[in-house]
């Protein structure tokens, strides 16, 4: 068999960068995309250190023409696509009442429509091959309504629904669909996602508790290469699953069998921060208290 080909979007940082390097180390020809190639210096340095090559391609997942042109050039160059990792994404903080339709649309355009653009571009080739894997990087927030992150949560729930449907639709063509649900992983997205929207003023506690969740998790954040290893396993195993939870808090927060919808709502009834942290730990088994 010829060298397998992988495309990793958002490969300039965090999970995308680690996944690109990890797949290259496993023998893949890897194309790592980034909106700005000037931001790929760390990727190239990491690849050099690992003794592998990652070919960088400029692509903006929020732009139809950019995606169509970049992926057509990759497919023309490589002749096939075996793995697509839809990793490029943005965060978004707001309680629902503070959230505007424009904010939702902006996050959805990257996190959902961006993945869709890439999926549509590679599927004809994968169907013709009779093989391939599409990996959509979701989040623990794709399984729970994480407090004060309405735009991000909406986008990840939408991505999970899209992925479930896609898995059914492409199974007859030999194409595998994988949803990866990381908890807190070492990534630049957290440093970039600290802004809070103009608020009606009733939700100070909600924003404070959301920020405390990340304050508790970031010191324990998982190395993104662990996510890369999960992705490689998911696309190569003979016993595939649709969903893979990983990283700090991943298994606990996505285990919907362990808590009911009503239990999740009860967490939100907390009257003060200490009560909220107690309820959170009781429900999920994860301590986020200061």
Instruction: Say yes or no to pLDDT of 147 above 80.
Output: yes
pLDDT of residue 124: 98
pLDDT of residue 187: 75
- Dump the DSSP string for 80-94: --SEEEE-------B
Beta carbons within 8 Å of 114's beta carbon, 6+ residues apart: 9, 61, 62, 67, 86, 88, 89
How is the chain split into domains, by residue range? 5-202+222-258
CA of residue 64 relative to chain centroid, distance? 20
pLDDT of residue 198: 75
Query: Average pLDDT, whole number, for the chain?
Result: 95
Which pTM was predicted? 0.96
Instruction: Say yes or no to pLDDT of 250 above 80.
Output: yes
Q: Which one is catalytic: 28, 152, 207, 244?
A: 152
In this structure, are residues 255 and 283 in contact, taking their beta carbons and an 8 Å threshold?
no
pLDDT of residue 191: 56
Instruction: Say yes or no to pLDDT of 88 above 80.
Output: yes
Helix (H, G, I), strand (E, B) or coil at 72: helix
Q: How confident is the model at residue 1 (pLDDT cuts 50, 70, 90)?
A: low
pLDDT of residue 152: 97
- Dump the DSSP string for 93-116: -B-GGG--HHHHHHHHHHHTHHHH
Average pLDDT (140-146) is 95
Known catalytic membership, residue 203 = no
Tokens 């959230």, located at residue: 99
The span from the CA of 138 to the CA of 177, in Å, is 12
- Phi, psi for 203 (deg, rounded to 5): -120, 25
Fold classification of 5-202+222-258 is Rossmann fold (3.40.50)
Q: How confident is the model at residue 193 (pLDDT cuts 50, 70, 90)?
A: low
């Amino acid at each position: 068999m010829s060298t397998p080909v992988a495309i990793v979007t958002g490969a300039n940082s965090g999970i995308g960068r680690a996944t690109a390097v990890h797949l290259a180390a496993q023998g893949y020809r890897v194309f790592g995309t980034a909106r700005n190639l000037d931001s790929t210096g760390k990727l190239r340095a990491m690849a050099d250190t690992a003794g592998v090559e990652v070919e960088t391609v400029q692509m903006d997942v929020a732009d139809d023409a950019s995606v169509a042109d970049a992926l057509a050039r990759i497919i023309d160059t490589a002749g096939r696509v075996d793995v697509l990792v839809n990793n490029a994404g943005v965060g978004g903080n707001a309680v629902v009442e503070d959230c505007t339709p424009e904010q939702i649309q902006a996050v959805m355009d990257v996190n959902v429509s961006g993945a869709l653009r890439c999926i549509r571009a590679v599927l004809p080739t994968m169907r013709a091959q009779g093989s391939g894997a599409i990996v959509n990087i979701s989040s623990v927030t794709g399984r729970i309504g994480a407090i004060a992150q309405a735009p991000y949560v909406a986008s990840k729930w939408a991505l999970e629904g899209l992925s479930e449907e896609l898995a059914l639709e492409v199974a007859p063509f030999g194409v595998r669909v994988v949803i990866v649900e990381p908890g807190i992983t070492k990534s630049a997205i957290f440093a970039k996602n600290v802004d809070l929207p103009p608020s009606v003023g009733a939700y100070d506690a909600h924003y404070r508790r959301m920020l405390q969740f990340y304050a508790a998790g970031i010191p324990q954040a998982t190395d993104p290469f662990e996510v890369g290893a999960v992705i490689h396993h998911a696309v190569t195993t003979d016993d595939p699953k649709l969903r893979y939870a990983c990283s700090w808090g991943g298994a606990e927060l996505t285990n919907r069998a362990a808590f009911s919808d009503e239990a999740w709502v009860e967490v939100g009834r907390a009257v003060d921060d200490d009560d909220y942290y107690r309820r959170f730990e009781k429900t999920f088994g994860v301590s986020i208290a200061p």
